[in-house]
A and B are shown apart, each in its own frame.
Chain A
């Protein structure tokens, strides 16, 4: 069972194996050429999904007039990463070249031209023969996008708000580990464990005490000094896990996506919806801890987020979830609830915590299991 899907699929974005097979925890197995091709890359938009294997790119879903539409394209080289946004999908090739494609029936891959950084190093660099090196187009290593934001990061640590260069981190001693985007904000993690955020923070997404817009990456002061190992960006929320196994969430909690209570006791009035500063989440004990062993074995290891939902893989391989589940994004078992506002375990699924992967669409969740369970 390599690809298990749950969530919004009203436009046939995802082709399920033989109809409606209900696997563990209310996930369905997807029909995708993953088993044979290890180089499969997927990104999920709201009305379509993008799937790449080798140099082939396939867009499925509502592309023009109705559901189950599909187009297949071929890129100039092998595809390394995809980022499916509302109006276009970013396509990054192994070569570091960036393309975009609109989700429509006459889809075409168009090369993305990035503006040179304001003070380009390449102009002053000289080769050993003493002649100036011609400025070349940047080699892109990371991409992410949301409905109001498109980010690319080059091998020279230039941060692009496509197509302009916003900022350049030092080329030495700074390596990007992970880049994620919400609807309108970006979160970046470097290998040292520092978190940077930028974009629209008017809903608390940036982790700053003050609600404001930040044009360029800012070090997340509230987490400074804590080594972060994993980050996630949901629609208007963010999450981070530290090397100590602590989980922090911040931003909008409209549907419990931060793992915090939505309504006050009594069920009439709401708790605050926005938490601008990272909140340390005190998770309840895992069921595998009945023996009373140390909690370290079940510490959160990785975190993932969709528009209004959040998933965790704990060290023991259990999947914990919180947030909006109305469209089945947390498995069909929870679909009759509108949301879950405290992290809870999804029974019936055990992940390999390091090898398996989770991918969130805006209203969906995809588990990529490398080995059979």
Chain B
């Protein structure tokens, strides 16, 4: 057994640390105790029941996956997501005991990403970081023969903008003119200092820091259509399919890394951006948490007309986005979907109005604008927005209350 691996096992929680997490969950108690005890004594007692314990840990992962996928995600008990996450970690150790080939390490790093995406790993962040580091070193993520392009910075174009444009407003100015007034605005020159603006243009940089991570990708041009689906893929495969030099595949689907908390998953990328000070302004006394989401995709990704419940600052890192807005007062004229999932989404196509089917759209006051690299769009809660990328695009959004 290599020493690197043995060092890792020392970071695993012992059964006494897990007992509080699993509480009265009968199967998690039995399986995690067995797994924790086995790995705690790994040097003295190999083999006794190792295969069976490994199988049980895998079964607990599958079982917890089913529980996480039952009912609303928001109502899945935190304990279930913690059990899933730690069972995934144990499963990785048992897989590594079987073999440490690059392919096996690759499979393990996918399991770790799923633990992070679906489960809750916050109690074991030291273990997560060490494990990720160990798996990345020996994974099959060999530098592929294909290199990705470096995107040309876009030249700024002048474009009509139906909402106020503010040049690097002060906090006070933003608070009065935008936040308190409930006024959408285009904020210019507020993120010029972000290293991301030039670093991320080189897609090989993204490939190098993030290529090995698994992320949720939306497939199909927009999430309200029947053809739409979502799945987990490796960033390197996504980048190569959507931005690679081999563009011969004409029937290719548009894939969109959308609304994903990429920066809590990949801390190196978080260092290339910073949370704008505007997000500290709040209605209450203490500023709340800020959700940071990444939006990366080729030209032609569409978010249909929809609204979000929080304050939103959409910052454009590269590429440009055509955006159409409408005020909350026009909600009834936008024909929201009736289903629970899509109630915040309009049935109308804002880019191609169809007054015959949806006569009330004639009453709506639409606001058009083009979001270019370095721009930030402030949207008050409940403002409707339609977003379409005009070129390969990377945006970062900040949501706060």
On A, residues with C-beta under 8 Å from B are 8, 10, 46-47, 62-67, 104, 147-148, 183-184, 200, 202-203, 210-213, 235-236, 268-273, 307, 326-327, 362
Contact = CB atoms under 8 A, between A and B. Distances in A.
Contacts of A269: 219, 231, 253
Interface string B197-234: 00000000000000000000001000000011101000
Given A47-B27, A183-B66, A271-B229, 16 more contacts: A8-B59, A10-B55, A10-B59, A65-B30, A147-B67, A183-B70, A184-B70, A184-B71, A202-B340, A202-B341, A210-B338, A211-B341, A212-B339, A235-B66, A326-B62, A327-B62
21 contacts: A46-B27, A62-B27, A64-B26, A147-B67, A147-B70, A183-B66, A184-B70, A203-B69, A212-B339, A212-B340, A235-B66, A236-B70, A269-B219, A269-B231, A270-B219, A270-B229, A270-B231, A307-B66, A326-B62, A327-B59, A327-B62
B292 interface: no
The secondary-structure label for the interface of chain A is loop
B237 interface: yes
Nearest to A46: B63
B56 interface: yes
B30 A148 contact: no
Given A8-B59, A183-B66, A202-B340, A272 B27 contact: no
Nearest to B34: A66
Nearest to B52: A10
Interface in B19-74: 26-27, 30, 52, 55-56, 59, 62-63, 66-67, 69-72
A81 B69 CA distance: 28
A236 B339 CA distance: 19
Nearest to A235: B66
A211 B340 contact: yes
Interface of B: 26-27, 30, 52, 55-56, 59, 62-63, 66-67, 69-72, 219, 227-229, 231, 237, 241, 253, 338-341
Contacts of B70: 147-148, 183-184, 235-236
A271 B26 CA distance: 36
Contact of A148 (B27, B56, B71, B338): B71
A362 B63 CA distance: 10
A291 B219 CA distance: 45
Contacts of A236: 69-70
B24 to A, nearest CB: 10
A321 to B, nearest CB: 19
A272 B227 contact: yes
Contact of B26 (A10, A47, A270): A47
Contacts of B27: 46-47, 62
Contacts of B241: 268
A94 to B, nearest CB: 31
Given A10-B55, A47-B26, A236-B69, A273 B229 contact: yes
B339 A62 contact: no
A211 B224 CA distance: 12
A59 to B, nearest CB: 12
A202 B343 CA distance: 14
A67 B52 CA distance: 12
A103 to B, nearest CB: 8
A269 B59 CA distance: 25
